[in-house]
Structure 1
Amino acid sequence: MVQSPHLFAEPLTLDKIAHVRQHDADSHPSNTVLECQGRYRIHEQLAPGVSSDPDVPMLVCERTSSPVPTPVMYFIHGGGMIVGTRRSELDVMIALADQAGAALVSVEYRLAPEHPDPAPINDCWAGLHWLVDNAHEFNIDPGRIVLYGASAGGGLAAGLALMCRDRQGPELIGQMLVCPMLDEGNDSTSAIQFSGRGAWYRETNEMAWSALLGDRRRTASVSHYASPAYAQDLADLPPAFIDVGSAEVFRDEAVAYASRLWASGGRAELHVWPGGFHGYDFVAPSASISRATVHARVDWLHRLLSQF
């Protein structure tokens, strides 16, 4: 599930964040699980950080039997910018990558509040450049990179796509934004509806954004790489797949982002899953809505990859 949403049932303090981080670490999938009965080979790597930043831990899941370089999903984990590692949610992600015939690379960005913005997005940027530079070592095609981010990772993936556009690369072929955390304003209709309720609710979201941005909250100094909803121009971005539950805080900011992508002439596929709460597909993977959600994601990946 998206960072054990039941653990966020009440407002967090720094002490509680430490507990949630430990719980997440205790639930990481093993290499045996990630190897998928030999279809993947697992590598632990370090990417050089941006400028004087520390090295960025990376986990590479290389497909073992492909005669040609494979596409790759560059995964950015969830956790509200305050929880998670490169192994978080990776058992679910490797199953998706396997169905798509892709390698999987997961980045471990630094977490707030100890490391506020721009540390997380800088680490994602550094990891992506490392992937492009070293793709050949893992039989990966650097011309077929799909960003995949869930929750906070969805916001970072959207910010990273904007950064790649603004800096003229690396080139991306797609961005998959799952229940993305896009708008630090935290004042949409759905945010207000899910105040004090839900797996990830407005008050917890408020705390997480404040941990990331501090005194810059709701000021002009907040970058659109940190809060992609603030981007003035969404033109010239890679095709997007956006999905979100109808019963969660991030619903309306996800819908608004898709609408603005269309208005800018971009390609976006939007799914709003009726009754879905934050992380429903992780919490109840066998439910019909969860199976339909995963099917839609795999179908989009297959259609996208068939074009390259």
Structure 2
Amino acid sequence: MTGTHPPLDPELAAVLSVVHEHLSPTITAEDIEGLRAHPMFAVRDEDLARDGTVHLQNLSVPGPPGAPEISLLVLRPVDAAPGAPVFYYMHGGGMIIGDNRTGVGGVLDWAVDNGAVVVSVDYRLAPEHPDPAPVEDCYAGLLWTHEHAAEIGGDPERIVVTGASAGGGLAAGTALLARDRGGPRLLGQLLMCPMLDDRLLTPSSHELDGEGIWDATSNRTGWNALLGDRRGGDRVSVYAAPARATDLTGLPAAFVDVGSVETFRDEDIDYAARLLQAGVQTELHVWPGGFHGFDGMAPQASLSRTASATRAAWVRRLLTTS
């Protein structure tokens, strides 16, 4: 299946050409080790501390039953009041790269603006740790965060799960687990360009071949690492691939956004539509001409500023009306 994708935003297209000098749109299994060491994905703690206005804490907490402990990074603005809202964050990286510092800066912006706490989970990565390890790690970290919220200055009744790309898929899967296991009642789920469907059946899952960021081959690489020979078959759980869920009732309010020029476009639009059909208050944005992760790679671009402001506005409304 092939298709013609919408045009890139001209400002973003110029940025993407520079990005491609350092990062290929096509990722194979042989590239994983090198990507994990790529300096582009390194985040310094001193940057997260923001000149001493944010307190960093590294915690080791129980993982899933029978599994190792997991690491949580807690970021708390020093002026945040006790009982603050909590953003529970799952990083991106296609299930194969990244750590609990990857991409957390944008979430920290919301925390600073709203007097909230960020908890970022360092889940195990595929292929060394295939499904269900990543989502179960994320859920275990959520349980700890809910049970110990007061210890980190948070409110256990005001937890928002959030993530980008693979982290967005894990956030959706974690929300489903919380509902189905009678776990924490979540305030919201903010899913940024989430990775939701292993079946690769939509037109957008095939439109990008050697283009953009995270093309069709990269997507197969990530899902194959997570699921192995189960990918695309009938033995994949809805927690690993939330697009497979047929019952979306009872989930928390959602924000879903995605670029028009990315592999996840159609599955994200469909998931948001089905959330609405299930009675879940949902806001959906398709950013015209946006490639995967455009706002992180080109934060000063006009479309990036609009996307960031729109997410921040949704966060403010959620926290002030709940």
CA contact (8 A) 2:28 2:217 kept: no
Question: Which residue of 2 is the match for residue 56 of structure 1?
Answer: 70
> Would you say the 8 A contact 2:83–2:155 is kept in 1?
yes
Deviation at 1:24, TM superposition (A): 5.2
Maintained 8 Å contact 1:73/1:105: yes
Instruction: Please show how residues 154-303 of structure 1 align to structure 2 within 5 Å.
Output: 154-303=168-317
In structure 1, distance between residues paired with 2:158 and 2:237: 27
Contact 1:100 1:298 in 2 (8 A): no
The CA deviation at 1:102 is: 1.4
**Aligned to 2:60, what secondary structure does the other structure show?**
strand
Quote the Cα distance in structure 2 between the aligned partners of 1:112 and 1:201: 18
Give the superposition deviation at 1:66.
2.9
Partner of 1:27: 42
Q: 2:141 aligns with which of 116, 127, 130?
A: 127
Cα deviation, 1:238-293, whole Å, max 9, x if unaligned, reads 00000000011110000000110111111110000000000110111011100000
1:39 Cα offset (Å)? 2.8
Whole-angstrom CA distance in 2 between matches of 1:302 and 1:38: 24
Secondary structure of 1:274's partner?
strand
- In 2 relative to 1, CA 226–139 (structure 1 residues): closer, same or farther, beyond 3 Å? same
Q: Helix, strand or coil for the counterpart of 1:97?
A: helix
Q: Which segments of structure 1 move beyond 4 Å, counting only runs of 4 or more? A: none
**Where does 1:76-115 land on structure 2 (aligned, <5 Å)?**
76-115=90-129
The answer as to whether partners of 1:24 and 1:84 remain within 8 angstroms in 2 is: no
Which of 17, 30, 39 is 2:53 aligned to?
A: 39
Q: In structure 2, what is the Cα distance between the partners aligned to 1:28 and 1:146? A: 23
CA RMSD of aligned residues (A): 1.7
2:28 equivalent to 1:12: yes
| Amino acid corresponding to residue 21 of structure 1 in structure 2 | R
Q: CA deviation at 1:19?
A: 1.0
Aligned-pair CA distance for 1:217: 1.2
TM-score with structure 2 setting the length: 0.91
Q: AA paired with 1:232?
A: T
The Cα shift of 1:12 comes to 1.8
What letter corresponds to residue 204 of structure 1 in structure 2? S
SS in 2 for 1:136: helix
Q: Does the CA-based 8 Å contact 1:8-1:204 persist in structure 2?
A: no
Q: How has the CA–CA distance of structure 1 residues 67 and 94 changed in structure 2, closer, same or farther, with 3 Å as cutoff?
A: closer
1:26 positional shift: 6.4
The aligned residue for residue 66 of structure 1 is 80
TM (normalized to structure 1)?
A: 0.95
- Structure 2 residue 309 is the aligned partner of structure 1 residue 305: no
Note the alpha carbon deviations across 1:35-85, whole angstroms, 9 max, x for none: 223332110001101111000011001232233311011110000000010
Per-residue Cα deviation, 1:123-169 (whole angstroms, up to 9, x for no partner): 00111111112211111111110011100000000000011011112
Seq. identity, %: 47
> What is the rounded CA distance, in whole Å, between the counterparts of 2:81 and 2:138 in structure 1?
29
8 Å contact from structure 1 (residues 185, 218) kept in 2:
yes
- State whether residues 109 and 124 of structure 1, in contact with CA within 8 Å, keep that contact through their aligned partners in structure 2: yes
Distance apart, 1:96 and its partner CA: 3.0
- What is the aligned partner in structure 1 of residue 11 from structure 2? none
- Look up the SS of the partner of 1:254 in the other structure: helix
CA distance in 2, matches of 1:11, 1:294: 27
Unaligned runs of 5+ in 2: 1-14
User: Aligned residue for 1:142?
Assistant: 156
Q: How many residues are aligned here?
A: 304
Residue type of the alignment partner of 2:290: G
Q: Give the match for residue 10 of structure 2.
A: none
Unmatched segments (≥5 aa) in structure 1 = none
